[in-house]
Amino acid sequence: MSQNNRLSKRELEQMRASSRLAARTLEMVSEHIQPGITTNAIDRMVDTFIRDYGAYPSPLNYRGFPKSVCTSINEVVCHGIPEDRVLKDGDIINVDVTCTLPAKNGFFGDTSVTFYVGEPSPDAIYVTEVARQALEVGIAAVRPGARVGDIGYAIQTFVRSKGCSVVREFTGHGIGKEFHTEPSIPHYGIPGTGPLIKRGMTFTIEPMVNLGSWETLVLDDDWTAVTKDGSLSAQFEHTLLATRSGVEVLTRRDSLLKHSEDKPYARLGRRSVPAAHAPQKDGANAAGG
């Protein structure tokens, strides 16, 4: 589906409802994040929660994806498949929720966050907080007259300034009556290039940030994407509506998310950059991405 036809008022309300449900699902999951829980348990609670609202967990059977949510731990960049693996103290895990409301012929809402399991390492804090801020920087670039390339440029510039890299193989996307539509929204780019962001467009921004190089590999299960160098990776995603004045974050939450936004370091500023990850002119951290 192209994004040329603007949503009607009623359709827009439906997009708001599906996005709100996806956001509520993450709030529900946040209550359960702790060492000892399995990713399969997260999958089951997400599946049940979403279906209770008459919605469908969009990942299930999407192009053969076998579960109802994506769970991506540590060096997994995205599309991790829930399994019997147990979360350990110090892990970071991205939970990526998408729902279709109503279940048949509905609208999609898509949002993800990275959670801390127990006590995180300085590296885990660093990559997670850079990714959290990268999404904010991307959202701030959605202004009237902005182009898709402006979003990617803003994100990439910020992430590089922090000595991390931006994944290139996976992008944000238009969203609406379908899961993934045009335009694709790369998290890198050239200012002033790409499609214009028009009022009424609904799309995601979902930067994946690596501590090391930007390159990824897909495992033999054909889904799980990992960093090629094994370095940690973190991701945050919102579904957005471009408005007359800027942007409405359709998957916004009412309160600080537990095991993530509620942490004291979730507001990391410039001065808290660990020396080991300070911006570099060259070397692995500054290459690519």
Site residues for Co ion per CB under 5 A: 96, 110, 112, 204, 237
Sign of CA dihedral 151, 157, 162, 164: positive
Judged by beta carbon, residue 47 or residue 237, the one nearer ligand MF3 is 237
Smallest separation (angstroms) from Co ion to the CB of 284: 28
Phi–psi pair at 274, nearest 5 degrees:
-65, 145
Judged by beta carbon, residue 82 or residue 289, the one nearer ligand MF3 is 82
Smallest separation (angstroms) from ligand MF3 to the CB of 66: 9
Query: Which of ligand MF3, Co ion, none lies near 75, with the C-beta cut-off 5 to 8 A by kind?
Result: none
Name the CA radius of gyration of the chain, rounded: 18
Judged by beta carbon, residue 30 or residue 285, the one nearer ligand MF3 is 30
**Residue 237 CA from chain centroid, whole number:** 3
Q: What's the burial of 73, exposed, middle or buried (CB within 10 Å: 0-12/13-18/19+)?
A: buried
Query: Which of Co ion, ligand MF3, none lies near 91, with the C-beta cut-off 5 to 8 A by kind?
Result: none
Give the binding site for ligand MF3 (CB under 6 A).
59, 62-63, 65, 70, 79, 96, 98, 110, 206, 237
Judged by beta carbon, residue 131 or residue 268, the one nearer ligand MF3 is 131
Judged by beta carbon, residue 9 or residue 63, the one nearer ligand MF3 is 63
How far is residue 242's CA from residue 175's CA, in Å, rounded to a whole number?
A: 12
Number of helices and strands in the chain (H, E): 4, 15
Smallest separation (angstroms) from ligand MF3 to the CB of 223: 6
Can you name the residues that pair with 253 across neighbouring β-strands? none
Query: Which of ligand MF3, Co ion, none lies near 43, with the C-beta cut-off 5 to 8 A by kind?
Result: none
**Residue 273 CA from chain centroid, whole number:** 22
Short-list 3, 211, 1, 24, CA closest to 111? 24
Query: Which of Co ion, ligand MF3, none lies near 79, with the C-beta cut-off 5 to 8 A by kind?
Result: ligand MF3
Query: Which of ligand MF3, Co ion, none lies near 65, with the C-beta cut-off 5 to 8 A by kind?
Result: ligand MF3
Smallest separation (angstroms) from Co ion to the CB of 230: 23
Closest residue by beta carbon to ligand MF3 = 59
How far is residue 165's CA from residue 5's CA, in Å, rounded to a whole number?
A: 35
Judged by beta carbon, residue 75 or residue 96, the one nearer ligand MF3 is 96
Smallest separation (angstroms) from Co ion to the CB of 119: 27
Q: Output b/e per residue, 92-120; b: 16+ Cβ within 10 A.
A: bbbbbbbbbbeeeebbbbbbbbbbbbeeb
Judged by beta carbon, residue 59 or residue 212, the one nearer ligand MF3 is 59
